[in-house]
Chain A
Amino acid sequence: MSGGDIKLVGFLCNWCSYAGADMAGTSRMAQPAEMRIVRLPCTGRINPLLVLKAFQEGADGVLVSGCHPGDCHYNEGNYYARRRLELLSRMMAVYGIEPERFRYTWISASEGARWAETVTSFTETVRPLGRLNLAGSGAEDDGRDQGPASGSRSPAAERQGT
């Protein structure tokens, strides 16, 4: 990614939101270009640590999108995801990450327009926040704190080390 710009990562369920993003593309719905999509079989496959890993590696925003509750391709995967992601979103500030940088949403395969709107609004939310300055992240880090999580090393960084 070109430096200076923000970097966004999207974890999308193959059965709904990924297909919704496909539909937005087929319908030629213009979207901001910062989003990089990772395809997954289910939002229930998303370990919260993966989201934190993305932030640790330099993502400025992470968007997770799956099937509407009740519509999971695997019956109940998104219920597990919903609990984990809700908890994770409340923990963001603790990690020194503005909560607006993380969002999870439910978008079905038929909601291409909704995907385009979501990407646009998420990008517009994160853009003014600029690059994430996460204390304790990255290999070049020497242990001194500079970011909003002053005083402590990010727990994300510690746990993801394994």
Chain B
Amino acid sequence: MRIGVFVCQCGTNIAATVSTERVASAAMALRDVVHAESIQYTCSDPGQRTVIAAAHKYALDRVVIAACSPRMHETTFQRTMAQAGINPFMMEMVNIREHCSWIHSDMEVATEKAIDLVSMGVAKVRGQTPLFSSHVPVVGEVLIIGGGVAGIQAALDIADAGMPVTLVEKGPTIGGNMARLDKTFPTLDCSSCILTPRMVEVKHHENIRLMVNSEVEQVRGYIGNFEVDIRKKTTCVDEKKCTGCQICEQKCPSKAPDEFNAGVGETKAISIAFPQAVPLVAVLRKEHCRLFIKGKCGICKKVCPADAVDYEQEDELHTEKFGAIVVATGYELFDWRQAYPHYGGGLYPDVITSMQYERMLSASGPTGGRIQRPSDGAEPKEIVFLSCVGSRDESIGRPLCCKVGCMYIAKQAILTREHIPGSRTYVFYMDIRAGGKGYDEFCRRAQKEAGAVYLRGRVGKIYPRDGKLVVMGADTLVGENVEVEADLVVLATGIDAAAGAGSLAQKLNIPYDQYGFLSESHPKLRPVETTTGGIFLAGACQGSKDIPETVAQASAAAAKVIVLLSHDELETSPMIAEVNHMRCIGCFKCREVCPYHAIEEQGLRDGRRVAVVIESLCQGCGLCNVACPPSVISLRGYTDNQLIEEVTEVLR
């Protein structure tokens, strides 16, 4: 056995707190280590060449690289091994950066720890055997979850590359939050004018299958071979027959809250979300329908000229196979009411959210583009905008910045001046965050051209007085308290991941944070990948972002999917379980615990029934290894002996 140890300095990232020379010389004292050296940047081209040269010179058969996290560079150095003619799995990475040099300041302590960690790596690699990947075929179809602008962009890009796409949307129409916006910053482009043509393109694309009112129920499988259950919920309307004439909506006697319009105005129990909906198909919501509540009605069925209404319609469950999945579930606004009782907690009708205001600005919205106070329908003259409601507020445990609030407040202030000549707008802000092309200029335009008065400070209280709302805040730049009498108050509420993002993440086995935002694999270098192979992120489901960023990320995710599916076969990880058939007692405890049904029963010539691992299904979790009573199943790369050696070595 000939082990080489390479201790990376990572410039000063490691060398500033760990004496890499001392670690290397200590490694030389370890059993089977024939060569050890310290390298300035091991991952660089000269660094890798140094490793390869040493591997040849000292005839190494095993290598330990003490550097950054294996999550960062394990594949890099596995490739180096292949170039050096060593099996890639005969290399063990030891994390002396994230787990050592970056968290300790005492050189002595950090160096001692690094020596320990290297000894663990050496102990583990001693027990390593060469492993070889096998290949599995890749399914050529793609699933996209979420039909907002991110999902639409990704679907069109992938479909244009010739790959079949299934776009699953929870709601009755695609378009997402962008379809609810009136204008977009900083160009004041009409949001629906730029979005709806793309929505129609999705509907007519030969490679896209659109499934609305549908949700992902279960996900099985792995990269290249996912099997997904999709539930298409009943809407009591036959999608193929409905022509979108809206006669049912006109005649329906049951009123229902208007979710698309963020609760501004009302709609009917059977309705179409908005005039440009794709698909343009009515949806019946049973919880608001007189027939389902009281058992008497049936008007929509009678008036429908296409005979599309079907009260007996049931949910459909589809099971489909996909090679890759793009998650584009977007965002929703933080519900501010509980957290801000001092803003009325939702009791004052004239304190509204920015999305409600946006719907009023929209010409196709519930007010036809007329801004009015919800309390009395009057046109407001004095309008106050509050930024960071539920953002950057440690007092309610929400330190995150929504990233778009400053910009859409500026947009709404400009639009307000256009809608209501002679109106006055006030903006209470924390900081103006306008870091984008043309963004800062746009905010200045709100102040100079639209005359918005910007006051730097938080608002402490809002209360009603004589039909108006008194907004009590501070102007911290002047150092004075400020009181504004407003007709309407608009809250720029913070942004959360869409409801259900967390439970979807659980189904997909991808990590997420406390706000439900899904985690990318690496914040800099793998921004659209997740830690689960074959699952990619696009748009605000990963973190709040504006439309250009969302579209860019969606195209990036599409590119990653296209790269993945351009291969007919994929290499699988060989770090999977194997059974020692000689000693297997045939109890099949392993089969009971295996989450992937990767264990099957096989008869041997001597008549014994033994467990066999199906290599293409095993994902290498190691549950069977622990469950096996005679301990004859080993997880390659993490065998019992390797782990015991690793632990024993460091405690010696």
Residues of chain A within 8 A of B505, CB atoms compared: 71
Q: Which of B23-31, B100-108, B455-463 contacts its partner?
A: B100-108
Closest chain B CB from A150 CB (angstroms) = 23
Cβ-based interface call for A157 (8 A): no
Cβ-based interface call for A93 (8 A): no
Do A30 and B519 touch (CB < 8 A)? no
Q: Indicate whether A45 sits within 8 Å of B69 (C-beta atoms), given known contacts A21-B98, A25-B99, A59-B651.
A: no
> Which residue of chain A has its CB nearest to the CB of B619?
A74
Taken together as a complex, chains A and B put the C-alpha atoms of A92 and B277 apart, in Å, by: 62
Cβ-based interface call for A108 (8 A): yes
Taken together as a complex, chains A and B put the C-alpha atoms of A38 and B94 apart, in Å, by: 10
> Which residue of chain A has its CB nearest to the CB of B112?
A2
Interface membership of chain A positions 24-47, coded 1 if the CB is closer than 8 angstroms to chain B and 0 otherwise: 111011110100111111101111
Residues of chain B within 8 A of A9, CB atoms compared: 647, 650-651
**Selected contact of B621 from candidates A22, A26, A36, A45, CB within 8 Å:** A45
Taken together as a complex, chains A and B put the C-alpha atoms of A29 and B98 apart, in Å, by: 10
How many residues in A have their beta carbons less than 8 Å from beta carbons of B? 52
Within 8 A of B (CB), among A85-116: 108-110, 116
Do B531 and A36 touch (CB < 8 A)? no
Cβ-based interface call for B350 (8 A): no
Q: Indicate whether A44 sits within 8 Å of B626 (C-beta atoms), given known contacts A22-B71, A37-B95.
A: yes
Residues of chain B within 8 A of A76, CB atoms compared: 595, 623
Closest chain B CB from A123 CB (angstroms) = 12
Do B647 and A53 touch (CB < 8 A)? yes
Do A25 and B650 touch (CB < 8 A)? no
Taken together as a complex, chains A and B put the C-alpha atoms of A77 and B627 apart, in Å, by: 11
Cβ-based interface call for B638 (8 A): yes
Residues of chain B within 8 A of A19, CB atoms compared: 71, 511, 531
Taken together as a complex, chains A and B put the C-alpha atoms of A57 and B102 apart, in Å, by: 28
Do A40 and B650 touch (CB < 8 A)? no
Taken together as a complex, chains A and B put the C-alpha atoms of A26 and B587 apart, in Å, by: 45
Taken together as a complex, chains A and B put the C-alpha atoms of A16 and B650 apart, in Å, by: 23
**Selected contact of A28 from candidates B102, B514, B651, B652, CB within 8 Å:** B102
Do B113 and A77 touch (CB < 8 A)? no
Q: Indicate whether A25 sits within 8 Å of B651 (C-beta atoms), given known contacts A15-B531, A36-B116.
A: no
Do A77 and B647 touch (CB < 8 A)? no
Cβ-based interface call for B635 (8 A): yes
Cβ-based interface call for B183 (8 A): no
Cβ-based interface call for A82 (8 A): no
Q: Indicate whether A30 sits within 8 Å of B103 (C-beta atoms), given known contacts A9-B647, A19-B531, A42-B623.
A: yes
Q: Indicate whether A22 sits within 8 Å of B69 (C-beta atoms), given known contacts A38-B646, A74-B509.
A: yes
Within 8 A of A (CB), among B604-640: 619-623, 625-627, 635, 638, 640
Residues of chain B within 8 A of A16, CB atoms compared: 511
Do A36 and B117 touch (CB < 8 A)? yes
Do B120 and A36 touch (CB < 8 A)? yes
* Chain B, interface residues (CB within 8 Å), range: 35 or more
Do A110 and B519 touch (CB < 8 A)? yes
Do B102 and A54 touch (CB < 8 A)? no
Do A33 and B104 touch (CB < 8 A)? yes
Cβ-based interface call for A4 (8 A): no
Cβ-based interface call for B268 (8 A): no
Cβ-based interface call for A50 (8 A): yes
Do A71 and B506 touch (CB < 8 A)? yes
Q: Indicate whether A74 sits within 8 Å of B647 (C-beta atoms), given known contacts A26-B98, A41-B635.
A: no
Within 8 A of A (CB), among B513-545: 513-514, 519, 531-532
Do B116 and A72 touch (CB < 8 A)? no
Closest chain B CB from A161 CB (angstroms) = 12
Taken together as a complex, chains A and B put the C-alpha atoms of A28 and B105 apart, in Å, by: 10
> Which residue of chain A has its CB nearest to the CB of B513?
A110
Cβ-based interface call for A143 (8 A): no
Q: Indicate whether A26 sits within 8 Å of B102 (C-beta atoms), given known contacts A36-B650, A76-B595.
A: yes
Do B509 and A38 touch (CB < 8 A)? no
Closest chain B CB from A45 CB (angstroms) = 3
Do B647 and A108 touch (CB < 8 A)? no
Residues of chain A within 8 A of B506, CB atoms compared: 70-71
Do B638 and A33 touch (CB < 8 A)? no
Do A29 and B103 touch (CB < 8 A)? yes
Closest chain B CB from A85 CB (angstroms) = 12
Do B651 and A109 touch (CB < 8 A)? no
Taken together as a complex, chains A and B put the C-alpha atoms of A26 and B69 apart, in Å, by: 10
Q: With a 10 A CB-CB cut-off, give which of A29, A39, A108 has the most chain B CB atoms.
A: A39
Do A71 and B623 touch (CB < 8 A)? no
Q: Indicate whether A33 sits within 8 Å of B621 (C-beta atoms), given known contacts A19-B531, A75-B509, A109-B511.
A: no
Closest chain A CB from B589 CB (angstroms) = 11
Q: Indicate whether A37 sits within 8 Å of B531 (C-beta atoms), given known contacts A42-B621, A45-B621, A75-B595.
A: no
Do A41 and B621 touch (CB < 8 A)? yes
Closest chain B CB from A24 CB (angstroms) = 7
Taken together as a complex, chains A and B put the C-alpha atoms of A20 and B251 apart, in Å, by: 56
Do A57 and B651 touch (CB < 8 A)? yes
> Which residue of chain B has its CB nearest to the CB of A9?
B647
Taken together as a complex, chains A and B put the C-alpha atoms of A42 and B621 apart, in Å, by: 6
Closest chain A CB from B221 CB (angstroms) = 11
Cβ-based interface call for B97 (8 A): yes
**Selected contact of B651 from candidates A7, A22, A70, CB within 8 Å:** A7
Taken together as a complex, chains A and B put the C-alpha atoms of A39 and B647 apart, in Å, by: 11
Taken together as a complex, chains A and B put the C-alpha atoms of A11 and B609 apart, in Å, by: 34
Taken together as a complex, chains A and B put the C-alpha atoms of A48 and B364 apart, in Å, by: 63
> Which residue of chain B has its CB nearest to the CB of A10?
B99
Q: With a 10 A CB-CB cut-off, give which of B69, B117, B514, B620 has the most chain A CB atoms.
A: B69
**Selected contact of B103 from candidates A31, A71, A75, A109, CB within 8 Å:** A31
**Selected contact of A77 from candidates B511, B623, B648, CB within 8 Å:** B623
Within 8 A of A (CB), among B52-110: 69-72, 95, 97-100, 102-106, 109-110
Do A58 and B651 touch (CB < 8 A)? yes
**Selected contact of B109 from candidates A33, A54, A67, A116, CB within 8 Å:** A33
- Residue pairs across A and B with Cβ atoms less than 8 A apart, 17 shown, are A9-B647, A21-B98, A22-B71, A22-B99, A24-B98, A25-B100, A31-B104, A33-B109, A36-B117, A41-B621, A45-B635, A45-B638, A59-B651, A71-B512, A74-B623, A77-B623, A108-B513
- Apart from A36-B113, A44-B626, what are 11 other A-B pairs with CB-CB below 8 Å? A16-B511, A18-B69, A19-B511, A25-B100, A29-B103, A31-B103, A33-B110, A33-B113, A42-B621, A74-B621, A75-B595
